[in-house]
Amino acid sequence: MAAVWQQVLAVDARYNAYRTPNNPQFRTLYIRRRSQLLRENAKLEHDPLVRRQYLKLRSQLLAQRYGTPSMSDQNSLRSRSASVRSSRHTLENFDDQPDYRTHRRYHSGSSYKYHASHEISVDGVVPTKNAEASRAMAGGTSIDENYAFAGVHHIFDQHTKAVTGVKFANDDKSRIACSSMDGTLSICQVLPAPATIVCVLRGHTKGVTDFRWSLSNDLILSSSLDGTARLWQVSSGRSVRVLEDADKAEIYSCLFQPVNNNIVATGNSRGHIQVLNVSTGKCVKGGLSKGSGKVLSMTFDPTGKILWAGDDKGLIFSFLCDAATGKLTRAKRMVVCEGHPVTSLACRTWLSREARDPSLLANCAVNSLCLFRIIDSEGGLQLKRKFALKHRGDNIKSIFCPLMSFRQGACVVSGSEDMCVYFFDVERANKPLVNKLQGHSAPVLDVSFNYDESLLASSDADGLVIIWKREQKAR
């Protein structure tokens, strides 16, 4: 029944952004403490029915406190989705899913206050003069000012081969992990200075292709060319579970189910997507599906109900996923550019507080970074923007910037084969390039922000990781 407590934590995390808007550090401490208490309680013997009742009551209380999507808006989304969805499948339990068009809180009245920083009406988000907390956290009055990264905070060079992934821990300013083709992962502390290597995770016999932090940051999931995925205990650096690929094939991508971290998904070189139960180490019933080529990238939507997978043949597939059981149902298929690998996928339900379109960001090895609009409840996609960058052969990755504010625009960041890091404003029609960082001497493979965007990490094909710091404005 540990999965129930993980679902409780997922519910808490979903509403965490609404707590103490003027004190983001407290929100981080709160969710960490909740995670600790839930893990401790999970070890005790409780009636499973009591646990499920607690989850239900907790969800109801949070919904009463912060609001839930209105039925009228859900019906509107249904009618819009009906015209484009597949004739074979529909998303089950749609009433439990947030409205993709808005992903915001509602009230029975026409409008209400939201963190005293903006007002929401039936017509949409209306910025007010009380957005100082949001602006202060964003650190600037314009996109260009906020993403004026230039200085180098630290450089890590502990890996001897390409660093395939670099990711800050969830809601964490200082901890970062790296994966490498040298077969190891490393966990580092970048704050306070000087930055240090906390531990190196050894166990894979071939290159590590991908990894993810668990929601509570106590576990790391990694995938490797050795045909295994591993779960690592962060506190000890030990490998606590080895998950073998059913085909004994190379694994290129992996991720946790966002609302049930007892379930993980992997994608292998034979095009198979496999959903596994962490507790048993086995594939769940109905948890095996197939794309068309090597599954190089995967991402879930925040609700955990839609999984997208990109392969080396230039296709993106969407699957419906049952969060409780892990069962997959194939939904949509889209050709991005035939024969050109899709190396990275990232989902975001809000681009900014003024641009609510649910979106999918994809790197395609045809010199393009693509932004897609998610157009239905089965993960259907429609191309919105393309950005040019050098990308033909390497597994380049990109991210959405984590903060949202009332500034016009929304930013994404990507690596590139020309050894640069690129910042693009996806809402700017002309000259979307916001910033360009130069400092690597090899293709930049991955990028990652810490939660308050004060630091940016980038990794390259020579094994170097650079931690960039944002320029501070004179006050």
Q: What's the chain's average pLDDT?
A: 82
Task: Report the alpha-carbon distance of residue 386 to residue 223 in Å, rounded.
Answer: 29
Query: What pLDDT score was predicted for residue 26?
Result: 72
Q: Give residue-wise pLDDT tens across range 230-250.
A: 999 999 999 999 999 999 999
Task: Provide CB contacts within 8 A for 401, sequence distance 6+.
Answer: 147, 410, 411, 412, 413, 449, 453
Q: Give residue-wise pLDDT tens across range 26-43.
A: 766 777 777 778 777 776
Give residue 117's identity as a one-letter amino acid code: S
* Residue 377 pLDDT exceeds 70: yes
Q: Give residue-wise pLDDT tens across range 171-197.
A: 999 999 999 999 999 999 999 989 999
Query: What pLDDT score was predicted for residue 90?
Result: 27
Binned at pLDDT 50, 70 and 90, residue 136 comes out as low
Ramachandran assignment for 339, one of left (phi > 0), alpha (psi -120 to 50 degrees), beta (any other) = left
Binned at pLDDT 50, 70 and 90, residue 471 comes out as confident
Distance, first Cα to last Cα, the chain: 52
Task: Report the alpha-carbon distance of residue 238 to residue 219 in Å, rounded.
Answer: 10
Give this prediction's pTM. 0.74
What are the tokens at 300?
């879930």
Where exactly are the structural domains of the chain? 1-66
Report CA 122 to chain centroid distance, whole Å.
29
Q: Give residue-wise pLDDT tens across range 398-431.
A: 999 998 766 667 899 999 999 999 999 998 989 9
Query: What pLDDT score was predicted for residue 406?
Result: 62
Query: What pLDDT score was predicted for residue 120?
Result: 34
Range from 42-46, 69-73, 213-217, 269-273 carrying the lowest mean pLDDT = 69-73
What average pLDDT score do residues 62-91 get? 43
Binned at pLDDT 50, 70 and 90, residue 162 comes out as very high
